[in-house]
Amino acid sequence: MLHRPPHPRKPRPVDPRRIFAVAVVDVAVYIASFVSPLLTLPQVYQIYAFQDATGVSAISWGAYTLFSFPWLAYGILHRQRPLIIANSLWLVLHTTVFIGALMY
């Protein structure tokens, strides 16, 4: 039996609404990749300014720190800039809170 090449597919028509939606989500993800980690800054301030980590779980923040590594590696390997940005910031902030929880 002879092998027949697959039937060529027609290109999909470009939907301008989809292009717009993708652009909006792309911008939102970049904004979230910066803003979301920065929302941890009040926790960092609270710990270091008052030298009090009462109620802050070192185990939880240590786990957050550890689980930032696979996400950062994933972002780097897949060249996903928002993931790289967000998880680099998360890694720094999680580590900072974790160390503060251990110190105080």
- Write the pLDDT tens digit of every residue in 17-54: 889 999 999 999 999 999 999 999 999 999 999 999 99
Residue-range domain boundaries for the chain: 21-103
Residue 1 has pLDDT above 60, yes or no: no
Domain 21-103 sits in CATH at: 1.20.1280.290
Q: How far from chain centre, in Å, is Cα 24?
A: 18
Residue 59: C-alpha distances to residues 55, 56, 79, 83 (Å) = 12, 9, 30, 24
